[in-house]
Amino acid sequence: MTGMGTRVELQRYIPIADYIAAINGRNCEVLIHDLSDLNHSICHIVNGHITNRTVGGSITNYALELIQNKVYENRESVTNYTGTTREGRRILRSSTYFIKDDKSTVIGLLCVNIDITDLLRAHELLGDIVQINVSAKQESTEVEKSFERFDGSVDSIVGEIIDTVILESGLKLVDSTTTEKQALIGRMEAKGVFKFKGAVSRVADVLGVSNQTIYRYLQNMNKE
């Protein structure tokens, strides 16, 4: 399934996505994200039944983290990290390739998510049968130890970022000062929350300030 307005630069990756899905079967989801619109970044997807996503769906929390941390500056891809579907019903082995234009600017992501739930169950069953304690220790970077959730909801991603920043700060919003709220907004900005449409209003409601106040804080941060 492909979106109507897919950029030319990304269209060349559609046959590759289809090829990867074809050789891996129905348990392999392959999709392309267009980073020009994070709220509706999925522009092509094959075997979307795995995560129940479709064209027009949003970027995930982990993919946003990769972009915000500029992982693409030092790596062409991030491979074999763990993902899970909504409520943790299926476990996925996931990988992401950074799609860049001729100026080396990241414009999209080619993502592969293989459902390994049944394989893990079979592995556990075989381990019980042969009574061998298998401990697979793989050396990996902090990036590959990360976890991705595929719930397909912009609201959930925005809400998670807001809740995480507030929780990590240890602040009580009722008693927080203007300076403390500015610091919270700065941390949310660093995590990329304001890349999503509608996030300003959501943050403003939570912090008890106006949209204009959020925009003013962000403008001041950009000047620093």
pLDDT recorded at residue 131:
63
Q: Does residue 2 lie within any of the structural domains?
A: no
How many CB atoms neighbour CB 126 within 10 A? 11
CA angle (182 as vertex; 181, 186 as ends), nearest 5: 115
SS3 label, residue 94: strand
pLDDT recorded at residue 43:
96
- How far is the C-alpha of 59 from the C-alpha of 48, rounded, in Å? 14
Q: Assign 224 a pLDDT band (cuts: 50, 70, 90).
A: low
Q: Does residue 12 lie within any of the structural domains?
A: yes
Question: Does the pLDDT at position 209 exceed 80?
Answer: yes
Please give the mean pLDDT across all residues of the chain.
Answer: 87
The answer to whether residues 190 and 205 belong to one domain is yes
Q: Does residue 3 lie within any of the structural domains?
A: no
pLDDT recorded at residue 87:
67
Q: Does residue 168 lie within any of the structural domains?
A: yes
Query: Among the three residues 149, 171, 194, which one is the final residue of a domain in this structure?
Result: 149
Structure tokens, 11 = 């269209």
Residue 183: which domain range?
Answer: 156-223
Each residue of 95-104: pLDDT tens digit? 999 999 999 9
Query: Among the three residues 130, 149, 168, which one is the final residue of a domain in this structure?
Result: 149
User: Residue 44 phi/psi, 5° resolution?
Assistant: -155, 135
Structure tokens, 170 = 């240890």
The answer to whether residues 179 and 74 belong to one domain is no
Each residue of 137-189: pLDDT tens digit? 444 444 445 567 776 688 888 988 999 899 888 888 888 898 999 999 999 99
The answer to whether residues 100 and 164 belong to one domain is no
The answer to whether residues 105 and 161 belong to one domain is no
The answer to whether residues 20 and 120 belong to one domain is yes
pLDDT recorded at residue 134:
47
- The total number of structural domains in the chain stands at 2
Query: Among the three residues 149, 182, 198, which one is the final residue of a domain in this structure?
Result: 149
Structure tokens, 146 = 């990360």
Q: Assign 8 a pLDDT band (cuts: 50, 70, 90).
A: confident
Each residue of 50-88: pLDDT tens digit? 999 999 999 998 999 999 999 999 999 999 999 888 767
Q: Assign 94 a pLDDT band (cuts: 50, 70, 90).
A: very high
The answer to whether residues 16 and 73 belong to one domain is yes
The answer to whether residues 139 and 188 belong to one domain is no
- How far is the C-alpha of 210 from the C-alpha of 200, rounded, in Å? 9
The answer to whether residues 173 and 200 belong to one domain is yes
Q: Assign 126 a pLDDT band (cuts: 50, 70, 90).
A: confident
Distance of CA 223 to the CA centre of its chain: 28
Q: What is the pTM of this model?
A: 0.76
pLDDT recorded at residue 140:
43
The CATH number of whichever domain residue 106 belongs to comes to 3.30.450.20
Contacts of residue 91, Cβ cutoff 8 Å, sequence gap at least 6:
82, 83, 84, 115, 116, 117, 120
Could you give the count of Cα atoms lying within 13 Å of 144 in the half-sphere of its Cβ? 11
